[in-house]
């Protein structure tokens, strides 16, 4: 998947390499000036499949017991959208591929470091709402980011994604990156004008490659990171030029153990918001989609998103059947002892096991 992504979104992956040496830790941010697209890349060893499966050490807020431990973050709310915060280990049953698993760890988790990537749609359908999206995004980061603990990155996308800011705890750098996010009018062609269409796989400027942006962000920016990994989409969900499919975007997010959240908003003069696609992206990965009716509802949507990120439980279990073939394993979480109707449990729908190292025999 990694090599395929590199072939599909070269400009973004090049930017990721440039940003890797400045991967955002608060101490580095203070000592180093902002990186530019003209800086030389530095070598960075890609994370192995087994490294991606390892949980961070316990002193970082998570549990680590070998490479086979599966961590599942989840939240529960009722039909009035109130969080259920009094669950115990005895309330929860977790199944992998339909088989009950023994829970190793269960705890309320509100303090894990957040590792976020904000993906901003700058295609034509977002042109008129983009200024308020950027302003609200800045307020969100000011409220959420804890210096030295949480990190965030900024990616803009239309036909292709572009990394505006690598992972950092620096609010000034995040604000500057959001300020620099802008809509660019695509070239006009023909008598009547119109955006330049892609020719033989060439430029896709003026299109919207949402799925490509998610695949590249999950696979090349977040996969090797620790903490609670989240992709936040600011888009109408209408994909017009991706080479990848929605299933590819979901699978790459699951491999990176990243949840997708979306705030679906766009220009009513275009095709509206594709709520179905955004819900699918989010629900399969343990996230949630919000659909504000207008710019005035954006602050409430971001506030709800922040609450979701802070109202979670952590379960850890070691699978009864351990595989090392890179296969997908379905996760299902149930609350059989709870009689509250219409409870909504949000968690990732599964994970990919690591692949065993090739044998020389």
What pLDDT does 187 receive?
67
pLDDT of 361 higher than 60? no
Structure confidence at residue 188 as a pLDDT band (50, 70, 90) = low
Structure confidence at residue 47 as a pLDDT band (50, 70, 90) = very low
Q: What is the mean pLDDT of residues 39-49?
A: 41
pLDDT of 315 higher than 80? yes
Q: How deeply is 127 buried, as exposed, middle or buried, from its count of CB atoms within 10 A (0-12, 13-18, 19+)? A: middle
Neighbouring-strand partners of residue 75: 346
Q: What is the pLDDT of residues 70-100, one digit of tens each?
A: 999 999 988 888 889 899 999 999 999 999 9
Q: What is the mean pLDDT of residues 13-21?
A: 37
What pLDDT does 269 receive?
67
Quote the CA–CA distance of 219 and 211 in Å, as a whole number. Answer: 12
Quote the CA–CA distance of 320 and 301 in Å, as a whole number. Answer: 39
Edge-to-edge order in the sheet of strand 151-157: 161-168, 151-157, 114-121, 228-235, 258-264, 289-290
Residue with more model confidence, 81 or 164? 164
Quote the CA–CA distance of 256 and 168 in Å, as a whole number. Answer: 19
Quote the CA–CA distance of 212 and 70 in Å, as a whole number. Answer: 27
Q: What is the pLDDT of residues 93-139, one digit of tens each?
A: 999 999 999 999 999 987 788 999 999 999 988 888 899 999 999 99
What pLDDT does 285 receive?
95
Quote the CA–CA distance of 219 and 47 in Å, as a whole number. Answer: 10
Q: Do residues 203 and 196 lie in contact, with contact meaning Cβ atoms separated by under 8 Å? A: yes
Give the highest mean pLDDT range of 40-54, 259-273, 274-288.
274-288
Residue with more model confidence, 205 or 272? 272
Structure-block tokens of residue 300 = 């409430």
Kindly tell me the number of DSSP H helices and DSSP E strands found in the chain. 10, 14
Quote the CA–CA distance of 71 and 165 in Å, as a whole number. Answer: 28
SS3 171: helix
Residue 130: φ, ψ to 5° = -60, -45
209 Cβ contact partners less than 8 Å away, ≥ 6 residues apart: 9, 157, 158, 159, 160, 161, 239, 240, 241, 242, 243
Cβ atoms within 10 A of the Cβ of 43, count?
Answer: 7
pLDDT of 320 higher than 50? yes
Residue 180: φ, ψ to 5° = -80, -10
Question: 């033989």: which residue's tokens?
Answer: 200
Neighbouring-strand partners of residue 331: 96
Residue with more model confidence, 296 or 284? 284
- In terms of DSSP H, where are the helices of 109-198? 130-144, 171-180
User: Which residue ranges does the chain devote to CATH 3.40.50.410?
Assistant: 2-26+112-185+203-310
What pLDDT does 193 receive?
53
Structure-block tokens of residue 31 = 């000592």
Structure-block tokens of residue 257 = 């153990």
pLDDT of 57 higher than 80? no
185 Cβ contact partners less than 8 Å away, ≥ 6 residues apart: none
What fold does the segment set 2-26+112-185+203-310 form as a domain?
Answer: Rossmann fold (3.40.50)
Q: What is the mean pLDDT of the chain?
A: 79
pLDDT of 29 higher than 80? no
Q: Which of 139, 141, 135 is nearest to 153 (CA)?
A: 141
SS3 58: helix
What pLDDT does 331 receive?
95
Question: 């803009």: which residue's tokens?
Answer: 156
Neighbouring-strand partners of residue 345: 76
Quote the CA–CA distance of 279 and 74 in Å, as a whole number. Answer: 17
pLDDT of 1 higher than 70? no
Point out the least confidently predicted range of 50-64, 190-204, 219-233, 344-358: 50-64
Quote the CA–CA distance of 193 and 140 in Å, as a whole number. Answer: 38
Q: What is the pLDDT of residues 324-356, one digit of tens each?
A: 778 899 999 999 988 767 888 999 999 988 876
Q: Do residues 131 and 110 lie in contact, with contact meaning Cβ atoms separated by under 8 Å? A: no
Structure-block tokens of residue 119 = 């993906």
What pLDDT does 201 receive?
46
Question: 């065993």: which residue's tokens?
Answer: 356
Point out the least confidently predicted range of 29-33, 80-84, 299-303: 29-33
What pLDDT does 276 receive?
96
Return the H-helix or E-strand segment holding 310: helix 298-310
């Amino acid at each position: 998947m990694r090599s395929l992504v590199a072939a599909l979104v070269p400009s973004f992956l090049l930017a990721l390499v440039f940003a890797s040496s400045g991967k955002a830790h608060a101490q580095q941010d203070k000592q180093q000036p902002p990186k530019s697209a003209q800086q030389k890349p530095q070598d960075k060893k890609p994370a192995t499949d087994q490294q991606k499966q390892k949980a961070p050490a316990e002193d970082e807020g998570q549990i680590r017991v070998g490479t086979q431990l599966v961590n599942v973050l989840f939240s529960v709310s009722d039909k009035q959208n109130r969080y259920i915060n009094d669950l115990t280990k005895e309330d929860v049953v977790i199944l992998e591929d339909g088989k009950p698993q023994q829970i190793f760890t269960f705890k309320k988790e509100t303090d894990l470091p957040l590792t976020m990537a904000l993906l901003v749609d700058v295609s034509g359908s977002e042109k008129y709402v983009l200024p308020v999206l950027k302003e609200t995004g800045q307020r969100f980061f000011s409220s959420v980011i804890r210096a030295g603990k949480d990190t965030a990155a900024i990616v803009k996308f239309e036909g292709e994604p572009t990394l505006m800011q690598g992972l950092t705890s620096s609010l000034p750098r995040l604000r500057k990156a959001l300020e620099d996010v802008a809509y660019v009018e695509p070239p006009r062609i023909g008598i009547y004008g119109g955006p330049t269409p892609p020719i033989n796989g060439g430029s896709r400027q003026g299109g919207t490659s949402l799925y490509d942006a998610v695949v590249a962000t999950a696979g090349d920016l977040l996969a090797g990171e620790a903490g609670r990994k989240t992709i936040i989409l600011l888009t109408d969900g209408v994909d017009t030029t991706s080479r990848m499919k929605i299933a590819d975007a979901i699978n790459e997010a699951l491999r990176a153990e990243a949840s997708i959240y979306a705030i679906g908003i766009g220009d009513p003069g275009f095709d509206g918001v594709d709520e179905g696609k955004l819900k699918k992206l989010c629900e399969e990965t343990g996230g949630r989609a919000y659909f504000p009716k207008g710019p005035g509802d954006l602050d409430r949507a971001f506030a709800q998103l922040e609450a979701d990120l802070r109202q979670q439980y952590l379960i850890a279990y070691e699978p009864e059947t351990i595989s090392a073939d890179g296969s997908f394993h379905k996760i299902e979480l149930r609350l059989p002892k709870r009689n509250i109707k219409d409870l909504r449990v949000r968690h990732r729908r599964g994970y990919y096991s690591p692949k065993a190292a090739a044998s020389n025999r």
